[in-house]
Amino acid sequence: MTLRFGTDGVRGVANLDLTPELVVALGRAAARTLRADRFVVGRDTRISGPSLEAALVAGLTSEGVRVGTMGVVPTPAVAWAAAAEEAAGAMISASHNRYPDNGIKLFTSTGRKLDDDVEDELERTLDELVGGGDVATTAAPTGDAVGTVAAQPEHLLSYADHVVASIGGRDLRGMKLVVDCANGAASVIAPHVLRRLGADVVVLHAEPNGTNINEACGSTHPDDVQAAVRAHGADAGLAFDGDADRVLAVDGDGELVDGDQIIAICAVDRRARGELRNGSVVVTVMTNLGFRLAMAAHGIEVVETPVGDRYVLDALASEGHALGGEQSGHVIFADLATTGDGLLTAVQLLDVVRRSGRPLADLASVMTRLPQVLRNVRIAVADDLDARLAPDLDAARASLDGRGRVLVRRSGTEPLVRVMVEAPTIDEAESVAERLAGAVARLGK
């Protein structure tokens, strides 16, 4: 079996899909395809992380690459270090998935994710290495040409300095925060950065044991941080995912503030300060209709992309926009980072709260979310699903009569079809979503 790149690198069950042998080959293929003589490598807190790190490093060094291992770090810290060091980067993580899964995200020496054509070349090289083709017989370096490995934990502290400096010498003094680290990569660095900025921090789920990453905590399960904000009378809460490239917020009333609202708050603030390049934001097709209406009210153009932060990143880079992201909490500040960064996003959001003197709940009211229902349907057969589902989609859209939206798409990381419905009322959204999800399940058997 070989690996295929999805919307966020390669991903699978560690030691079953993502075996050490395959990851060694992936390391060799990455070295040859990216043509980099240096790599920085990080990982999250999964039990399989050290094993896969060893395999990846073995593949890279067998091709003569010098590798700096960063240890347990957020994905954006690897992207930042890659750009700072002008080295390629690799992050071993399955993001918000449960602990049995793992994955590998690759970055160029500019700190950006790989383009489609580079991924295609990498897949071809990997196939040849695994299948014993001409690439596999290419002479490997020997003697002092073999790559080296060095621990480089200092990169994490330099990344922390970068996040702290991103608000121009201001601080978060006087703010009480609850932070849910998802027992993942944010567990040490997020509380450290927020305390350096002067905040009083209550920490949840920051005791990783290899198997509890994302387990009933973090951005996919924000109930604990919502309850803790209320219990502690905090100004705000933050919920990271396992590799800390996304964050959701909680206001002082314990209400969730999602990625759409975070982007809206920061877009309006930056527009008011003359710092929103092109007067625009970049979001995906999943972004709530309420966001689009709010941006129109503030004279901000909305640029839409397919789902996946890489597509948002492409639009930001190619068209010169400054801010974009996803409802899930992947937010990219293009003038400060090369990828989605949960900790940087949290600091930027809290800086708006601090400067404005307004509660987060008040700021979040800049947009009114239409009721939105999401259903994930696990399927066995995806062939011609779009065509076979077309009559059901047409019926769903006709029932909304222009008062909402329907979106059905396949996941880029799991064998799922995601059904999203927005409607004027939650009951109507749920009714339409249930009908569509049932149709997907029936056709996907």
* pLDDT at residue 387, rounded to an integer: 87
* pLDDT at residue 301, rounded to an integer: 97
> Among 155, 186, 207, where does a domain finish?
155
Contact indicator for 343, 76 with CB cutoff of 8 Å: yes
pLDDT digits (tens, 9 = 90+) for 203-255: 999 999 999 999 999 999 999 999 999 999 999 999 999 999 999 999 999 99
Alpha carbon distance 440, 423 (integer Å): 20
- Is the same domain home to 357 and 409? no
How far are the Cα atoms of 32, 62, 92, 140, 177 from residue 65, in angstroms, in the given order?
10, 7, 18, 11, 42
pLDDT digits (tens, 9 = 90+) for 392-411: 999 999 999 888 899 898 87
* pLDDT at residue 345, rounded to an integer: 98
- Is the same domain home to 186 and 319? yes
Question: Please, which residues have CB within 8 angstroms of residue 203's CB and are 6 or more apart in sequence?
Answer: 179, 181, 191
Average pLDDT of every residue of the chain: 94
Domain membership flag for residue 4 = no
Domain membership flag for residue 160 = no
Alpha carbon distance 114, 116 (integer Å): 7
For the ranges 37-46, 132-141, 216-225, the lowest mean pLDDT is seen at: 132-141
Domain membership flag for residue 141 = yes
Domain membership flag for residue 422 = yes
> Which residues are the active-site residues?
95
Domain membership flag for residue 3 = no
Contact indicator for 289, 421 with CB cutoff of 8 Å: no
Q: What angle do CA 152, 26, 126 make, to 5 degrees?
A: 155
Q: Express as a percent the part of the chain with pLDDT over 70.
A: 97
How many structural domains comprise the chain?
A: 3
Domain membership flag for residue 336 = yes
* pLDDT at residue 341, rounded to an integer: 98
Query: What's the domain range around 429?
Result: 372-443
Q: What angle do CA 224, 225, 229 make, to 5 degrees?
A: 120
- Is the same domain home to 137 and 170? no
- Is the same domain home to 340 and 379? no
**Which CATH number fits the domain that encloses residue 171?**
3.40.120.10
Domain membership flag for residue 337 = yes
- Is the same domain home to 174 and 302? yes
The SS3 assignment for 87 reads: coil
* pLDDT at residue 245, rounded to an integer: 97
Residue 136 has pLDDT above 70, yes or no: no
Confidence tier at 131 by pLDDT (50, 70, 90):
confident
- Is the same domain home to 142 and 51? yes
- Is the same domain home to 314 and 339? yes
56: left (phi over 0), alpha (psi -120 to 50) or beta: alpha
* pLDDT at residue 137, rounded to an integer: 62
Q: Crossing angle for the helix pair 426-443 and 385-400, nearest 10 degrees?
A: 160
Query: What's at 304, amino acid-wise?
Result: E
- Is the same domain home to 377 and 359? no
Of 226, 178, 218, 172, the closest CA to residue 195 belongs to: 172
- Is the same domain home to 26 and 123? yes
- Is the same domain home to 245 and 149? no
Long-range Cβ contact pairs of 392-401 (< 8 A, separation 24 or more): 392/435, 392/436, 392/439, 393/436, 395/435, 396/421, 396/432, 396/435, 396/436, 399/432, 400/428, 400/432
**Which CATH number fits the domain that encloses residue 393?**
3.30.310.50
Average pLDDT of the segment spanning 262-270: 98
- Is the same domain home to 236 and 337? yes
Q: What angle do CA 138, 144, 150 make, to 5 degrees?
A: 105
- Is the same domain home to 350 and 241? yes
* Ramachandran angles phi, psi of 385, nearest 5°: -60, -40
pLDDT digits (tens, 9 = 90+) for 73-121: 999 999 999 999 999 999 999 999 999 999 999 999 999 999 889 999 9
Of 175, 164, 163, the closest CA to residue 354 belongs to: 175
How far are the Cα atoms of 117, 123, 170 from residue 120, in angstroms, in the given order?
5, 5, 44
> Among 155, 176, 209, where does a domain finish?
155
> Among 364, 394, 413, where does a domain finish?
364
pLDDT digits (tens, 9 = 90+) for 155-204: 999 999 999 999 999 999 999 999 999 999 999 999 999 999 999 999 99
Domain membership flag for residue 108 = yes
Residue 1 has pLDDT above 90, yes or no: no
Average pLDDT of the segment spanning 50-66: 98
